[in-house]
């Protein structure tokens, strides 16, 4: 017998099946992880096929070295999914297969955790006779007395005495597996179902009816309308029918809350998968899912690859979030993977959001082809008919005129004081971490930039350093201007650290917590910060987009958006959409219980339609305006954008590679007579021209939606792979980030 193996090496040259002989007696099936010889090395590999013949000379076919595990690690459905991803995202097959298992499983870096236990091997008269015949072995007899109550872990016992007892046959030592439980699953409290609102009940009825044959839905509900409760009732019905469920959330920060809700309803049926778990926890949860012990999977983007079978429903919460799209190879979209898996299982797919992406909402309209269509379900009222928060727009230009130099407007400061005096909680949102956005010389205008990236360094006060948020490079703040020698160095802009410091300065009695990448790097840090806020140990939560969506705190009555237009004018066609989504979502954190909510929205562009629609919580008005603008400018979803980014240590090499690719692509378009499909085709310097020490140029392509995008992508992938030595080419289709 022969096995077809994809070796665990991500390189275009080895993206093919290699034949290996199956040793006598080795039981092998597709999906298994094996160790194989590969040139002078030994590598892991995925078995993707078994055959009884081989076209090669048998004497040249090397045998498989060993099995990494004795059961398949990739289910047949996930094997097919990896093949589909290989074609869809033009990635190496091994890159797709790696996503299907915990990374530490490769190379045997994680195993089942066991503990050694000692138990008495004697009982009754035999035990009493042993005790009587060993009167001087005091330490051994102490252990015997302890073991009379039952087996004990050997770690707490005298090792020499235990070894002697084992040798005498009085004690038997065995290893028992122990599961590593994520903190989010440690709470055993169960919760009861609340009464559904009429809109929720209708949504549940529609979704559960679709479990018979599958269906695709957009659940569009205003913030606080109870979408999660709809998810829970759908999952319960799926479990009742003997099926399973996957629930995706966009941020690890949201995982503990969703896990708490689902674990409180479904107990041990719930499992959690995300990158912030320890390797052992992730491995044990993966095994629980793989064995069928857990039937509900909750997690961030990668949880869509959970080895779960007989799926009844897949839920993608906050579907508009760009974090569902991977920004490194393979550049997959978890929403597309969810669509594909739901189709394979005949499952119900639910995309939920208060602010759906333009492309998603467009799928609910007339004229969309049936295979692409979503059925729209709307929740227009908050739970218990609670009102949406009152939103007040503050024009920061007027604050400057009044002489207010604080990052807080007068209105925000007044409302924050009233909130704290009333014993309530507030959330302050600014989508930038650090203290100051950039450091500049007031004499000559010099701005301190990263020497590895074409971006300004951000000042972090707590660490007293300047940091690049792209490559992580750090340096001490300059005492004098490196350009002119002036001592007039000033810190401009604001981030989460500055907001935190300003709250502490203006409101000394406030108990402030900050939630951003810098404060959440420790294990379980997200959960610890949010739990403390929920318990009232802190009463002001400052954060980036981590706090902007999905969180539910009943005592939050005030939300302050410190800089509403921070992301409004970025060089990305989705900048207005993302600003609208962030503001609408964070505003929805206020007034989610019986207390009314207030939102102070600070901006320098109070008349902008993105700001106005967010303040009014009017998604339909925003969608109408934004989609019309996209159609006029021919941006996605009315077109397809692709680019190949060429990166090199040499600026000339990157530029030459991009310009050569432009000529080659233009010649191919002419040869194939495809000019009518092309809106734009050009080589240009990337918006961030230097990143992590590499110069970047891009080949930019915009196509009409009717074009054969797959053919263009395949050609661009070939051009990326043909980049000259010293240059890396990377294809991106509708990139997450245009910068």
pLDDT of residue 243: 98
Residues 467 and 609 in one domain: no
Mean pLDDT in residue range 532-543: 96
- State yes or no: pLDDT of 54 exceeds 90: no
Q: What band does 275 get if pLDDT is binned at 50, 70 and 90?
A: confident
Query: Number of folded domains in the chain?
Result: 6
Average pLDDT of the segment spanning 656-679 = 96
633 contacts: CB under 8 Å, gap ≥ 6: 573
Residues 694 and 576 in one domain: no
Of 707 and 470, the structure prediction assigns the larger pLDDT to 707
The pTM assigned to this predicted structure is 0.90
| The predicted structure's pLDDT at residue 469 | 86
User: Taking 90 as the threshold, does the pLDDT of residue 395 lie above it?
Assistant: yes
Residues paired with 465 in a beta bridge: 460
Within this chain, do residues 685 and 674 fall inside the same structural domain, yes or no?
Answer: yes
Which pLDDT does position 653 carry in this prediction? 97
Give 401's pLDDT tier (boundaries 50, 70, 90).
Answer: confident
Q: Is residue 739 part of a domain?
A: no
CB 64 within 8 A of CB 20: yes
Least confident range from 211-220, 282-291, 416-425, 435-444: namely: 435-444
Is the model's pLDDT at 101 over the cut of 90? yes
Mean pLDDT of 353-359: 97
Asked if residue 489 belongs to a domain, the reply is no
- Note whether 528 and 615 are same-domain residues: yes
Q: What CATH number is given to the structural domain containing 374? A: 3.40.50.300
User: Does residue 487 lie in a domain region?
Assistant: no
pLDDT > 70 fraction of the chain, expressed in percent and rounded:
100
- Say yes or no: 412 and 530 in one domain: yes
Q: In what order do the strands lie in the sheet with 465-467?
A: 458-460, 465-467, 474-475
Q: Which of 426, 454, 479 is the last residue of a domain?
A: 479
In a domain, 488, yes or no: no
Residue that terminates a domain, selected from 108, 124, 157: 108
| pLDDT recorded at residue 162 | 93
Give the CATH number, domain containing residue 104: 3.40.1440.60
In this prediction, residue 442 carries a pLDDT of 84
Q: What is the pLDDT of residue 349?
A: 98
Same domain, 99 and 162: no
What is the token pair recorded at 380? Answer: 């227009």
pLDDT score recorded for residue 464: 87
Q: What is the pLDDT of residue 187?
A: 78
The pLDDT, as a whole number, for residue 190 is 85
Q: Are residues 678 and 560 in the same domain?
A: no
Residues 49 and 129 in one domain: no
The tens digit of pLDDT for each residue in 111-141 reads 899 899 999 999 999 999 999 999 999 999 9
d(CA 456, CA 345): 48
**Whether residue 429 has pLDDT greater than 90:** yes
For residue 625, the model assigns a pLDDT of 97
DSSP result, 177-227: E-----GGG------PPPPPPHHHHHHHHHHHHGGGT-EEEEEEE-TTS-H
Residue 279 has what pLDDT? 93
The answer to whether 226 and 386 are in contact (CB under 8 A) is: no
Together in a domain, 101 and 234: no
Mean pLDDT value of segment 333-360: 97
Task: Give the residue-averaged pLDDT of 665-694.
Answer: 95
Same domain as 431, residue 451: no
CB atoms inside a 10 Å sphere around CB 369: 7
Mean of all residue pLDDT scores within the chain: 93
Judgement on whether residues 191 and 267 belong to the same structural domain of the protein: yes
| pLDDT for the residue 588 | 93
Give which of 604, 545, 112 is closest to 399, Cα–Cα: 604
- Per-residue pLDDT, averaged over 88-110, amounts to 93
What is the pLDDT, as a whole number, of residue 218? 98
pLDDT tier for residue 255 given thresholds of 50, 70 and 90: confident
Quote the pLDDT of residue 15: 94
Pick the last residue of a domain from 384, 401, 421.
384
DSSP codes joined into one string, 598-642:
EEEEEES-TT-HHHHHHHTT-HHHHHHHHHHHHHHHT-TTSEEEE
158 occurs within a structural domain: yes
pLDDT at 14: 93
Claim to verify: residue 77 and residue 202 sit in the same structural domain = no
Please indicate, yes or no, if residue 486 is contained in any of the structural domains.
Answer: no
Kindly give the pairing relationship between strand 678-691 and strand 438-441.
unpaired
Range of the domain at 690: 639-733
Q: Where are the beta strands (DSSP E) in 367-486?
A: 375-379, 390-395, 425-429, 438-441, 458-460, 465-467, 474-475
pLDDT of residue 153: 92
Average pLDDT over residues 489-513: 92
Question: Does 245 fall in a domain?
Answer: yes
Within a domain: 310: yes
pLDDT at 276: 86
Q: What is the pLDDT of residue 59?
A: 83
Pair 467, 497: CB distance under 8 Å = no
Please check the confidence at residue 38 and state whether its pLDDT lies above 90.
yes
**Residue pLDDT, tens place only, 608-652:** 999 999 999 999 999 999 999 999 999 999 999 999 999 999 999
């Amino acid at each position: 017998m022969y096995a077809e193996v994809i070796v665990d090496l991500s390189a275009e040259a080895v993206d093919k099946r290699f034949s290996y002989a199956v040793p006598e007696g080795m039981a092998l099936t597709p999906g298994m992880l094996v160790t194989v010889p590969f040139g002078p090395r030994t590598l892991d590999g995925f078995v993707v096929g078994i055959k009884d013949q081989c076209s090669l000379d048998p004497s040249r076919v090397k045998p498989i070295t060993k099995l990494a595990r004795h059961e398949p690690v990739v289910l047949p459905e996930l094997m097919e999914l990896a093949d589909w991803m290989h074609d869809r995202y033009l990635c190496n097959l091994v890159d797709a297969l790696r996503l299907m298992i915990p990374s530490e499983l490769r190379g045997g870096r994680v195993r089942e955790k066991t503990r050694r236990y000692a138990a008495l091997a004697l009982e009754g008269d035999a035990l009493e006779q042993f005790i009587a015949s060993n009167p001087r072995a005091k330490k051994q007899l102490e252990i015997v007395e302890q073991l009379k109550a039952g087996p004990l872990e050997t770690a707490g016992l005298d090792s020499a005495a235990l070894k002697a007892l084992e040798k005498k046959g009085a004690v038997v030592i065995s290893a028992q597996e122990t599961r590593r439980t994520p903190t989010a699953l440690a709470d055993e409290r169960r919760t009861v179902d609340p009464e559904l609102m009429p809109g929720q009940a209708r949504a549940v009825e529609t979704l559960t009816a679709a479990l018979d044959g599958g269906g695709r839905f957009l659940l569009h509900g205003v913030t606080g309308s109870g979408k999660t409760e709809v998810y829970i009732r759908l999952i319960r019905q799926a479990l009742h029918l003997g099926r399973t469920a996957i629930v995706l959330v966009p941020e690890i920060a949201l995982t503990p809350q969703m896990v708490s809700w689902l674990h409180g309803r479904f107990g041990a049926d719930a499992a959690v998968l995300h990158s912030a778990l320890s390797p052992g926890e992730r491995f044990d949860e993966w095994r629980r899912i793989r064995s069928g012990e857990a039937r509900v999977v909750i997690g961030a983007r990668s949880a869509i690859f959970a080895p779960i079978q007989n799926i009844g429903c897949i839920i993608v919460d906050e579907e508009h979030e760009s974090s569902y799209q991977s920004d490194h190879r393979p550049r997959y979209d978890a929403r597309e993977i969810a669509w594909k898996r739901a189709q394979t299982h005949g499952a119900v797919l639910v995309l939920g959001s208060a602010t759906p992406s333009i492309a998603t909402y467009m799928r609910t309209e007339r004229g969309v082809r049936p295979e692409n269509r979503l059925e729209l379900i709307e929740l227009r009222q908050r739970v218990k008919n609670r009102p949406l928060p009152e939103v007040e727009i503050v024009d920061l230009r007027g604050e400057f005129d009044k002489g207010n130099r604080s990052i807080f407007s007068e209105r925000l400061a007044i409302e924050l004081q009233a909130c704290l005096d009333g014993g309530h909680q507030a959330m302050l949102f600014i989508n930038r971490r650090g203290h100051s956005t950039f450091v500049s010389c007031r004499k000559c205008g010099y701005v301190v930039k990263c020497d590895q990236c074409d971006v300004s360094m951000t000042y972090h006060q707590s660490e007293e350093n300047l940091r690049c948020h792209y490559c992580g490079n750090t340096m001490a703040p300059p005492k004098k201007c490196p350009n002119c020698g002036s001592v007039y160095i000033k810190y401009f802009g604001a981030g989460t650290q500055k907001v935190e410091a300003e709250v502490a300065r203006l409101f000394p009695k406030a108990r402030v917590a900050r939630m951003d990448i810098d404060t959440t790097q420790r294990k379980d840090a997200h959960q610890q910060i949010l739990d403390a806020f929920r318990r009232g140990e802190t009463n002001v939560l400052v954060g980036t987009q981590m706090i902007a969506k999905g969180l539910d705190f009943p005592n939050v009555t005030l939300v302050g958006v410190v800089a509403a237009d921070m992301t409004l004018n970025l060089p990305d066609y989705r900048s207005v959409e993302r600003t609208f989504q962030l503001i609408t979502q964070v505003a929805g954190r206020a007034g989610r219980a019986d207390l009314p909510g207030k939102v102070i929205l600070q901006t320098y562009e109070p008349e902008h339609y993105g700001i106005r629609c967010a303040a009014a919580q009017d998604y339909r008005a925003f969608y109408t305006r934004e989609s019309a603008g996209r159609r006029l400018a021919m941006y996605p979803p009315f077109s397809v954008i692709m680019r190949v980014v060429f990166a090199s240590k040499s600026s000339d090499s990157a530029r030459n590679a991009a310009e050569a690719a432009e000529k080659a692509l233009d010649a191919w378009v002419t040869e194939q007579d495809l000019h009518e499909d092309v809106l734009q085709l050009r080589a240009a310097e990337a918006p961030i021209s230097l990143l992590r020490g590499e110069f970047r140029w891009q080949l930019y392509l915009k196509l009409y939606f009717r074009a054969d995008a797959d053919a263009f992508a395949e050609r661009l992938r070939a051009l990326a792979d043909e980049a000259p030595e010293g240059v890396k080419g990377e294809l991106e289709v509708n990139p997450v980030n245009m910068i």
